[in-house]
């Protein structure tokens, strides 16, 4: 397999699906000649032309609504929100329209749309461009929510999302775009709702997703030198959630640390904890479950303050040691 970047894997997935299905098109701000805010769509305008690479005016309300409308009439749009924070501008189109139409029309209407967006912090983009808002999407029945952590997962999960007949919110944490990984050239998909054990372990489980997977693996590698065996479970898809994998790893190691970049208070980690607490895995635990998330404050612009707002390897390591 070749080694390519996370953002190249995302572009490959979109290009391959657009070649495979003429109903797939891509729409978003500055995705054409400018190639998007992070250079993900480089070369796509030249290959597919302006009829399938659409650059609407700067109105998320308008073009998200257009995406919903085209999806219910047979198209399969990939709609890019430049930053996940901008979901607030088109909340009605996503939450009240895309998520509910299949249910409200008794299954006669589907909304096969992928909402791609850059999520998370670590780039100095400050309070309005650095949030992790996946929990808000997960709370809405009718939406699928995907957060890939590697180039391999990004390509396979995005191809599966584009082929899915539901609306999928595909969150790409922007600090991962330049990360490289092994990605096969042949066609493949990764089913939504299936977690992945990124590292086997027996003493404690870190359950995480997105950018925190790499940080958790760093901690696991460090602790291995002390004889501490850490298992790292990458959820990959938050909705649908692989509850069986969560319960299995909790039973296996009997100690659990849940890590995410989003604000800890009210974050998705609470859902993971309750999944364990509501199952027989609770009786296997030898220590209380620990959570590690971002501080409950807007993301600062100052790089030192920003770095200390989010989980760090030191905070993750401290939580793991406390469970032991």
Q: Do the two domains 2-183 and 196-323 of this chain adopt the same fold?
A: yes
Question: 139-171 pLDDT, tens per residue?
Answer: 999 999 999 999 999 999 999 999 999 999 999
Q: What is the pTM of this model?
A: 0.96
Percentage of the chain beyond pLDDT 70 is 100
Check if 260 is active-site: no
| Domain 196-323: which CATH number of 1.10.150.130, 3.40.50.920, 3.40.50.300, 3.40.190.10 | 3.40.50.920
Question: 266-321 pLDDT, tens per residue?
Answer: 999 999 999 999 999 999 999 999 999 999 999 999 999 999 999 999 999 999 99
pLDDT of residue 100: 97
Q: Quick one: which of 243, 233, 306 has its CA closest to 278?
A: 243
265 phi, psi to nearest 5 deg: -65, 120
Those residues whose C-beta lies under 8 Å from the C-beta of residue 95, and which sit 6 or more positions away, are 140
What is the 3-state secondary structure of 196-245?
EEEECCCCEEEEECCHHHHHHHHHHHHHHCCCCCEEEEECCEEECCCHHH
Q: Quick one: which of 180, 183, 210 has its CA closest to 198?
A: 210
Please tell me which residue in 102, 129, 139, 260 is annotated as part of the active site. Answer: 129
Neighbours of 268 (CB within 10 A): 26
pLDDT over 90 at 115, yes or no: yes
Tokens for 108, please give them.
Answer: 């006669």
Q: Are 26 and 80 in contact (CB under 8 A)?
A: yes
Does CATH number 3.40.50.970 belong to domain 2-183?
yes
Domains in the chain: boundaries: 2-183, 196-323
């Amino acid at each position: 397999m070749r080694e390519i970047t996370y953002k190249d894997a995302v572009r490959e997935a979109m290009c391959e699906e657009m070649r495979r299905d003429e109903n797939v098109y891509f729409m978003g701000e500055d995705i054409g000649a400018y190639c998007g805010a992070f250079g993900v769509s480089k070369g796509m305008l030249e290959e597919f032309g302006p009829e399938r690479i659409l650059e609407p005016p700067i109105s998320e309300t308008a073009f998200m609504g257009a995406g919903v409308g085209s999806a219910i009439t047979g198209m399969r749009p990939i709609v890019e929100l430049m930053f996940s924070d901008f979901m607030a501008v088109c909340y009605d189109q996503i939450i009240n329209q895309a998520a509910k139409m299949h249910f409200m029309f008794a299954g006669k209407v589907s909304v096969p749309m992928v909402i791609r967006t850059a999520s998370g912090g670590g780039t100095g983009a400050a309070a309005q461009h650095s949030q992790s808002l996946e929990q808000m999407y997960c709370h809405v029945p009718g939406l699928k929510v995907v957060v890939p952590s590697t180039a391999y997962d990004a390509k396979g999960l995005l191809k599966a999302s584009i082929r899915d007949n539901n609306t999928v919110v595909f969150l790409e944490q922007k600090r991962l775009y330049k990360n490289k990984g092994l990605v096969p050239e042949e066609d493949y998909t990764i089913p939504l709702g299936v977690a992945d054990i990124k590292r086997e372990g027996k003493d404690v489980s870190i359950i995480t997703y997105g950018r925190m997977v790499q940080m958790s693996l760093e901690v696991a590698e460090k602790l291995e030198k002390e004889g501490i065996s850490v298992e790292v479970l990458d959820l990959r898809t938050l909705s649908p959630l692989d509850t069986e994998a969560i319960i299995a790893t909790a039973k296996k190691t009997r100690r659990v640390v849940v890590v995410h970049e989003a604000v800890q208070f009210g974050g998705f980690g609470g859902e993971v904890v309750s999944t364990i607490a509501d199952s027989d895995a609770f009786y296997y635990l030898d220590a209380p479950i620990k959570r590690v998330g971002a501080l409950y404050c807007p993301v600062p612009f100052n790089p030192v303050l920003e770095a200390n707002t989010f989980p760090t390897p030191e905070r993750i390591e401290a939580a793991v040691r406390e469970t032991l």
